[in-house]
C-alpha cells in the first residue's frame, strides 16, 4: 500500500488498463483524440499504439501541424508535438538556446553518458568542434570509404553469394544491422567484431544494443516513476537495460585498453586504421587541445555515441531503401543505368572513389526520398528553458517537452505537395540534373541548426557503396506475403524484418 501511495502512476496505470480494454472493445476506428478526466489523452494514444506513427500524422493534420498532448494527472506526461517546419526552424535554429535536451532526455538516454548527444552548452560545443575536425577531414572520408568497401568485399558479397546459391530466404534488415555494427566498430574503435559472416554468429554486444534501444523506448511510454521504480528494484525492462549496458561497457573499455596498449608500444601508428580510427584520434586530440579532462570514461562516452549514431540509423535507412526500390522496378532500372554509366569497368564495378559516387544523382535522390518517407529516427524531443511563442502561435511554458515528428513531416501535403505519399526520386533532381537543395528544417532527417548531423556526408557515402554493390550484382525480391510495417521504437526498424530472396544478376 505504501508503494501505491508513493507512486500514484501505478494507480493510474491500473485504471488505464481497464479503460483501454473498454475503449478497444468499443471501437478500433480512428477517432478524434479526447482529453478524459484523470487519464487525459493517453487512452487514445494506447488505442492507436499499434499504428502510432500514422496516428500521430493524422492527429497533426487535424490540428494544423501542432498539437498539445495532455497526459494522465500526476504523471508529468504533457507535451507539445509539431510537424510545422517554421516551428522546427524556430526551435532548432532561430531560438536554439531556448530548446535544450533537458533533464528528461538525459535520464531516458543516460546510457549515452556525457557524449555529444547527451551534452549541452560548452561541453557539447567542445565535443562537436572536436568531432567535426575529425569526421569532416578528407583523409577520414577516404579511410571510411575503404573500411566500408572492405566489409562489402570480405563479408557482404560472400554472405549474399551464399544465400543466393542455396536459395535461402534471408532477413535483409539483420544483414544491414550486422554490416553497420562491423563498420562502426572498425571506424570508432579500430576493432572488427565480424558480425556479418555466413554463420550469422550471435554477438552479445551487438544484441545488447537492441536491448538498450528497446528499454529506452519503454522509458518513453510508461510513467517516469514506474520505470525508475523498476530500476531501483532491478526488475523488468530496467534489469535487462542494466545487463545490456554492462555488456557493452565491457566491450568498449576492452577496446580502449587494447588500443592504448598498441599505441604505447609505438608512438607512430603504422596502419591506416591506427591513423584514423576515431577512438585513437579523439584520445590524441584531447591530449593535445586540452578542453575536457581526458579519461577512459570520456573515450567510452564518445565511442558509445558514435556507435549509436552509426549502427541502427544507417541500417534502418538501408532496409527501407531496398524495400521501396524492390517495389518500384522503374526506379531500380534507373539506378542500374546510372551505375552502368559511372561505376563500371569492363562490365564490373571498378574501384570507384568519392568523386565518382557523387555522380550517382538518381541514387542520391532515391536515398533522400526513402529517408523522407521513412526517417530512421521518427521523432525527436527538446525541452524549453523559458516561455516562448512558436511561429504557429502556440504558447510554450518553461520546462515544456517539445516533440517534433520527422515521420509525420514526410507525409504532410503542406510541405511536400499532394503527391507527398508517392516515392519520387525525381523531386530531388533539378532540370539540369543536379541535386535540389531542400532546407534542413523541411527535410529534417539529419536534424537542423547547430546540431545538424555531422555524419550526413559519410552516411550517403556508405549507403551508395552498399546500394551499388548489391543492386548491380543481385536482384532483391521481397518474399511474397511478408508483412512490412514500421516498429514502434526510437529507431524506425521494420517490425518483422525484411525477408527477401537474393538472385545473382550475372552468373
The binding site for heme comprises 453
Q: If residue 344 lies in a helix (H) or strand (E), which one and from where to where?
A: strand 344-345
Q: CA-based Rg of the chain, rounded to a whole angstrom?
A: 23
Q: How far apart are CA 176 and CA 482, in angstroms?
A: 18
Alpha-carbon torsion 149, 155, 158, 163, what sign? negative
Q: Measure the CA angle with vertex 257, ends 254 and 258; round to 5°.
A: 85
Q: How far apart are CA 448 and CA 441, in angstroms?
A: 6
DSSP-assigned states of every residue in 101-163: -HHHHHHHTGGGTTSTTT--HHHHHHHHHHHHHHHTSHHHHHHHHHHHHHHIIIIIHHHHHHH
DSSP state letter for 225 = H
Which residue spans within 35-114 are E strands per DSSP? Answer: 66-69, 79-82, 99-100
| Among 203, 146, 152, 201, residue whose Cα is nearest residue 176 | 152
Grid coordinates given for 84? 510545422
Q: Measure the CA angle with vertex 402, ends 55 and 386; round to 5°.
A: 160
Q: If residue 475 lies in a helix (H) or strand (E), which one and from where to where?
A: strand 474-478
Residues making up the binding site: 453
Amino acid at each position: 500500500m505504501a508503494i501505491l501511495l508513493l507512486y500514484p502512476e501505478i494507480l493510474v496505470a491500473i485504471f488505464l488498463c481497464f479503460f483501454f480494454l473498454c475503449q478497444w472493445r468499443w471501437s478500433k476506428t480512428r477517432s478524434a483524440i479526447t482529453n478524459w478526466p484523470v487519464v487525459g489523452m493517453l487512452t487514445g494514444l494506447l488505442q492507436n499504439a499499434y499504428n502510432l506513427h500514422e496516428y500521430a500524422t493524422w492527429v497533426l493534420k487535424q490540428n494544423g501541424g501542432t498539437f498539445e498532448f495532455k497526459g494522465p494527472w500526476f504523471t508529468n506526461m504533457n507535451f507539445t508535438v509539431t510537424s510545422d517546419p517554421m516551428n522546427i526552424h524556430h526551435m532548432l535554429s532561430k531560438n536554439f538556446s531556448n530548446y535544450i535536451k533537458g533533464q528528461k532526455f538525459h535520464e531516458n538516454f543516460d546510457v549515452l553518458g556525457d557524449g555529444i548527444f547527451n551534452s549541452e552548452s560548452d561541453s557539447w560545443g567542445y565535443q562537436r568542434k572536436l568531432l567535426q575536425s575529425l569526421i569532416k577531414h578528407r583523409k577520414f572520408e577516404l579511410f571510411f570509404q575503404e573500411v566500408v568497401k572492405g566489409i562489402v568485399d570480405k563479408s557482404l558479397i560472400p554472405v549474399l553469394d551464399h544465400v543466393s546459391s542455396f536459395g535461402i530466404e534471408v532477413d535483409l534488415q539483420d544483414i544491414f544491422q550486422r554490416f553497420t555494427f562491423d563498420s562502426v566498430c572498425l571506424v570508432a574503435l579500430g576493432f572488427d567484431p565480424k558480425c556479418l559472416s555466413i554463420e550469422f554468429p550471435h554477438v552479445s554486444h551487438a544484441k545488447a544494443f537492441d536491448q538498450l534501444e528497446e528499454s529506452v523506448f519503454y522509458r518513453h511510454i510508461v510513467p517516469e516513476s514506474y520505470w525508475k521504480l523498476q530500476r531501483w528494484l532491478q526488475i523488468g525492462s530496467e534489469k535487462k537495460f542494466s545487463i545490456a549496458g554492462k555488456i557493452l561497457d565491457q566491450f568498449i573499455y576492452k577496446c580502449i585498453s587494447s588500443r592504448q596498449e598498441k599505441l604505447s608500444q609505438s608512438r607512430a601508428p603504422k596502419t591506416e586504421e591506427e591513423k584514423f580510427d576515431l577512438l585513437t584520434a579523439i584520445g590524441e586530440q584531447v591530449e593535445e587541445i586540452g578542453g575536457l579532462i581526458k579519461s577512459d570514461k570520456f573515450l567510452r562516452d564518445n565511442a558509445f555515441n558514435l556507435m549509436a549514431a552509426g549502427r541502427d540509423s544507417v541500417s534502418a535507412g538501408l532496409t527501407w531503401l531496398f524495400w521501396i526500390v524492390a517495389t518500384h522496378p522503374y526506379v531500380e532500372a534507373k539506378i542500374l543505368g546510372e551505375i552502368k554509366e559511372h561505376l563500371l569497368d569492363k562490365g564490373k564495378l571498378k574501384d570507384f572513389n568519392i568523386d565518382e559516387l557523387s555522380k550517382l544523382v538518381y541514387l542520391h535522390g532515391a536515398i533522400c526520398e526513402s529517408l523522407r518517407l521513412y526517417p530512421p529516427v521518427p521523432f525527436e524531443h527538446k525541452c524549453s528553458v523559458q516561455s516562448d511563442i512558436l511561429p504557429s502561435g502556440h504558447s510554450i511554458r518553461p520546462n515544456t517537452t517539445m516533440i517534433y515528428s520527422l515521420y509525420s513531416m514526410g507525409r504532410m501535403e503542406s510541405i511536400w505537395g499532394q503527391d507527398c505519399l508517392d516515392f519520387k526520386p525525381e523531386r530531388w533532381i533539378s532540370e539540369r540534373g543536379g541535386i535540389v537543395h531542400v532546407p534542413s528544417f523541411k527535410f529534417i532527417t539529419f536534424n537542423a541548426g547547430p546540431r545538424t548531423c555531422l555524419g550526413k556526408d559519410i552516411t550517403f557515402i556508405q549507403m551508395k557503396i552498399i546500394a551499388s554493390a548489391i543492386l548491380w550484382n543481385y536482384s532483391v525480391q521481397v518474399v511474397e506475403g511478408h508483412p512490412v510495417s514500421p516498429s514502434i521504437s526510437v529507431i524506425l526498424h521494420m517490425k518483422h524484418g525484411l525477408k527477401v530472396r537474393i538472385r545473382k544478376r550475372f552468373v
